[in-house]
């Protein structure tokens, strides 16, 4: 009789982490950073209908990277659960913390299941408040459901660490929208240029959205190519 083969839990966990890391390494980055009136989210994404940044609820947006099909399902489920909660109780009761927990539980359960492939995604749950004193919140959610709050800015995707290091040097508080967009796109450009030819970001190659705390009930706004071009011109 042969011995049943044994793999230690540590080994299983390491394998899963390696597997996800290899997937995320290739994922394009999304940068979220606080500016004067809220949160700005920028991603390198030349596509116009498949997005990495999207509206979830009045004050909440989701930035995601990795496998599209996997985060798309979470995006839709997030909108649905938020709408149901807001309809049942009150719109203000839908919070970023609550949504982050929901995602965290789901992703954690899948990562720990013995017969499932962990989700190859990373998420940023972004939230602003109508009251400027409360400020904004960014929750980073890893593939295994672990999450933490980020201060002022956060990055997900393959070269997140490099970008975070650059932003630590260059980020300042109270940026105007145009300055924040410039900072994010210059940073992405710089990281891109380190690996290949000189690289230039244009309004056609990035996806930009913001949560504007000063806006009405729905704080999310997606910028069109024309909007982005206008901001670029204004800034330069």
Partner 1 sequence: MLKLHDYGTTDFLQILKNRYPDQVGNWNQPNGLQDVLPQNFLEGTTVLALVYDEGVIIAGDRQATEGYQVGERRIQKVYKIDRHSAIAVAGVAGPCIETAKLFQVQVEFYEKIEGAPLSLDGQANYLSSLVRANLSLAMQGLIVLPIFAGYDLKQGKGRIFKYDALGGRYEEDSYYAIGSGGKDARSTLKKLYQPNMSKESALNAVAEALWDAADEDIATGGPDLIRKIFPTLTLITEAGVSDVPDDTVAALYRELVARLEQP
- Judged by the rule CB under 8 A, the positions of this chain that interact with partner 1 are 49, 51, 54-56, 73-74, 76-81, 83-84, 86-88, 102-103, 105-106, 109, 218
CB of 72 to partner 1, least distance (A): 9
* 27 vs 56, beta carbon nearer partner 1: 56
Of 79 and 179, nearer to partner 1 (C-beta) is: 79
Distances (CA, A) of 40 to 68, 102, 181, 224, 228: 21, 23, 7, 14, 12
How many Å apart are CA 223 and CA 149, to the nearest integer? 26
Token pair for 10: 């540590």
DSSP 3-state of 139: strand
Neighbours of 235 (CB within 10 A): 15
- 83 versus 230: smaller Cβ distance to partner 1: 83
Q: CB 148 → partner 1: shortest distance, Å?
A: 20
Which tokens hold the place of 230?
């206008």
Min CB(94)–partner 1 separation in Å: 12
Residue 132: HSE in the Cβ half-sphere, 13 Å Cα cutoff? 8
Instruction: Please report how close the Cβ of residue 79 comes to partner 1 at its closest, in angstroms.
Output: 5
CB nearer to partner 1: give 16 or 106. Answer: 106
Nearer to partner 1, 21 or 48 (CB): 48
CA gap 189, 145 in Å, rounded: 30
> Smallest distance from the beta carbon of 49 to partner 1, in angstroms?
7
Find out whether 150 and 137 touch, Cβ atoms under 8 Å: no
């Amino acid at each position: 009789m042969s011995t049943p083969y044994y793999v230690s839990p540590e080994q299983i966990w390491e394998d899963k982490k390696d597997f996800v890391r290899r997937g995320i390494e290739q994922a394009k980055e999304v940068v979220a950073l606080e500016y004067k009136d809220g949160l700005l989210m920028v991603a390198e994404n030349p596509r116009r209908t498949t997005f990495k940044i999207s509206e979830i609820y009045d004050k909440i947006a989701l930035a995601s990277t990795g496998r599209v099909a996997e985060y798309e399902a979470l995006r839709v489920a997030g909108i649905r659960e938020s709408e149901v909660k807001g309809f049942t109780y009150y719109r203000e009761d839908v919070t970023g913390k609550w949504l982050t927990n929901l995602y965290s539980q789901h992703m954690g359960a899948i990562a720990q299941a013995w017969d499932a492939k962990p989700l190859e995604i990373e998420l940023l749950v972004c939230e602003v408040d109508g009251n400027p004193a409360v400020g904004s919140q960014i929750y980073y959610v890893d593939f295994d459901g672990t999450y933490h709050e980020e201060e002022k800015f956060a990055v997900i995707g393959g070269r997140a660490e490099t970008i975070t290091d650059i932003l630590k040097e260059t980020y300042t508080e109270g940026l105007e929208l145009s300055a924040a967009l410039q900072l994010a796109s210059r940073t992405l450009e710089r990281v891109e240029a380190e690996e290949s030819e000189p690289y230039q970001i244009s309004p056609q190659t990035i996806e930009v959205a913001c949560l504007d705390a000063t806006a009405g009930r729905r704080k999310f706004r997606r910028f069109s190519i024309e909007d982005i071009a206008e901001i670029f011109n204004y800034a330069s």
